Amino acid sequence: MSQPPRPPARPVVRSHHGDDFVDDFAWMSDKHSPEFLDHLAAENAYTAGRTAHLDALRKELYSDILARTRQTDLTVPDFVRHSDGSTWWYYSRSVEGLDYSVHCRLAGDDPDRIPDVTEAPTDEQVVLDENELAEGQSYFALGMCDVSPDGTRLAWSEDLSGDERYRLRVIDLATRTDLPAPDVAVAGGGCWCGDDRLVYLTMDNAWRPDRVWLHTLGTDDPDVLLRHEPDERFWLGVDESRDRTRVVLAAESKQSGEYRLLDAADPASGARLVTPRREGLEYSVEVGTDALYVVHNLDAPEFQLSSAPFTASGIDDWRTVVPQRPGVRVLGVHAYADYLVLSSRRDGLPLIEVLTRTADGGWGDPTPLTFDEPLYSAGAYSADDPATDRIRLMHESLVSPRRLDEYRLDTGARRTLKQTEVLDHPTRGRYDPTAYVQRREWATAPDGTRIPLSIVHRADIVPDGTAPALLYGYGAYEHALTPWFSIPRLSLLDRGFVWAIAHVRGGGELGRGWYEQGRLLAKPNTFSDFVACARHLAATGWTSPDALVAQGGSAGGLTMGAAVNLAPDAFRAVHADVPFVDALTTILNPELPLTVTEWEEWGDPLHDPEVYRCMKGYTPYENVRPVRYPSVLATTSLNDTRVEVTEPAKWVAQLRRTVIADETRPILLRTELVAGHGGVSGRYQAWRDLAFELAWIIDQVQPQPR
């Protein structure tokens, strides 16, 4: 197809707060209509035609990923002691040529001797083979995958379309026979409640987990409703305590929380409330061996850690363990018998601290764990054993592949268990992290706020304005983009790209205040921050506007759309993945999935005229201008329930008919027809899709022959 699709305009007037907006493409909201599906097929055909010349480059990039990735690999085994006294090592395998993981276990009784299972031992037991489950399916995603406390049964769930509605299954691990399970669509989470009971969640029509149920295996009794959440701002979640004696029931909104604890041995006694919800009080609960440990924001905007007796009836029983500290945003805690492991953020980077039990039963001061790089991601994995003397730490950076260490809580000793391998490239040779440089720089926003950037490039790149660059951004939900390693990114760096993260407001990199400055009525700061980062990269010589590509997905796709409306001259191209670009239309409709729960993030434009005016001023679909725009690639999925495919389809149609046409800057839409918010499910097709996107990005700033 040589000409882009031109969908018909069918005006529908949307009227709110005295403002009328004519939406010519509102008809696309019926995403399963034959006309709309034909339109998506035409868009896919047009995109395929406009990118056909990139076939050789796509194959090269896909080969790069395969060559550098150890496709047959396994996770480090985890030691688990079950309630029946059995002890097992649990791990997962990936096998070259297969898309999905194989989950396995091996009997063993010594937690100090991690078994070598590189070659499958003869007594290895396959717990679940995702490849067998996915056979014949266009899409497969595993939700719950949890072995019962006594180690005899497995509960797991599967999504076969990408719409995040799962089917729950239970099997006997000894006989491999299916056991009766609830025959309803469930949410992805769930857990065991003792050896023969399951707790699972169901969703309302808005895809909000709103009910928690208890199912007892081996009986015909109807499942028991444990909790129903009528407030549409809140969603429910469940988890087991570390010692599996309690089920934790959480009800959370964007700015409030409420927790209950259910006795796993006596669920009929009911769930006990930790403290009632109150507007603006956010808290989470960790069940320790001696007390509850609560991370909360009561009189502490950046959060603090308190303890409470198991019999606590409210906040009056909370006692401070770690008070709020300047510049430290407390995120969560893992509680063990003799140690607390506290996770926070400080100066835009992860902070992991250990507190040791003192002789009087209290806790010592937090001791920070150090990492040997200026920019990094790090995390502490939760150990199953409440009496453990060791944890596992993850560490990676823009130049260092992910590493898993064992850290001894008693001695501070650290040993590396595994580091992700980057295999030798057939033409570029061995990966050398010293051949690349990572750095932190700061852009200045229009209001004078300094915005951090994390930057990586080849060591021989100089800031003379000639290098191509990619600027990645998100900026919502207090989600922090900590620097991570990527094998596919090497294909850009080796081609001379500068790659950068814009840590814009609305994210959580610099604490709760950083988030608050980029949400609700302050949301426009997110977009001007991103533009400021783009201008900074050009002003400092790392790139030029004609060589800069912007990239972001979901709420980050909103950032892309709003930023290019603000400053279309700042970018050569934009890749917006599952982009939230018709934000106002969506947030005005409480019948759409997840809308009401989002009002605390974006505001409620349906009832608040000030919020309406704010969102009307930045929502990408309604602010496209008749000027020259960058090239645009919008990627999406038909079954996405978080950002409907309607949004990027409408946005692309609006862009094409509004901006000044430029044959060298095409506007493309590519839709996966069997996938969800995270794209396709199999790793090989995901790598092919990534190669498609990388090839398009490269072609925009390093044009390929046609």
Classify the C-alpha dihedral 685-690-695-700 as positive or negative: positive
Residue 427 carries which side chain, given as an amino acid letter? Answer: T
223 counts as catalytic: no
Q: List the beta strands (DSSP E) in 82-223.
A: 87-94, 102-107, 125-129, 141-147, 153-159, 166-172, 178-179, 185-186, 190-192, 197-203, 209-216
Q: How far apart are the first and last CA of the chain?
A: 16
CB atoms within 10 A of CB 343: 18
Residues 554, 631, 637, 681: which is the catalytic one? 554
In this structure, are residues 494 and 428 in contact, taking their beta carbons and an 8 Å threshold? yes
Which residues are 403's β-sheet partners? Answer: 395, 419
Work out the burial of residue 97: count CB atoms within 10 Å of its CB; fewer than 13 is exposed, 13-18 middle, 19 or more buried.
exposed
Integer angstrom CA distances of residue 309 from 245, 260, 293, 318, 433: 16, 14, 9, 8, 49
284 counts as catalytic: no
- Between CA 448 and CA 440 the distance in angstroms is 18
- ∠ Cα 257 613 646 (to 5°): 75
What are the CB-based long-range contacts (under 8 Å, 24+) for 244-248?
Answer: 244/83, 244/149, 244/192, 245/287, 246/287, 247/191, 247/193, 247/199, 247/271, 248/285, 248/287
CB atoms within 10 A of CB 155: 23
In this structure, are residues 436 and 457 in contact, taking their beta carbons and an 8 Å threshold? yes
Q: List the beta strands (DSSP E) in 485-610.
A: 498-502, 548-553, 573-577
Residue 605 carries which side chain, given as an amino acid letter? Answer: P
In this structure, are residues 322 and 342 in contact, taking their beta carbons and an 8 Å threshold? yes
Residues 334, 395, 536, 677: which is the catalytic one? 677
640 counts as catalytic: yes
What letters, b where the CB count within 10 A reaches 16 and e where it falls short, cover 653-685?
Answer: bbbbbebeeeeebbbbbbbbeebbbbbbbbbeb
- Between CA 202 and CA 182 the distance in angstroms is 11
Question: Is 630 in a helix, a strand, or coil?
Answer: coil
CB atoms within 10 A of CB 450: 11
- Secondary structure element (H or E) that encloses residue 74, with its range: strand 73-74
The catalytic residue positions are 554, 640, 677
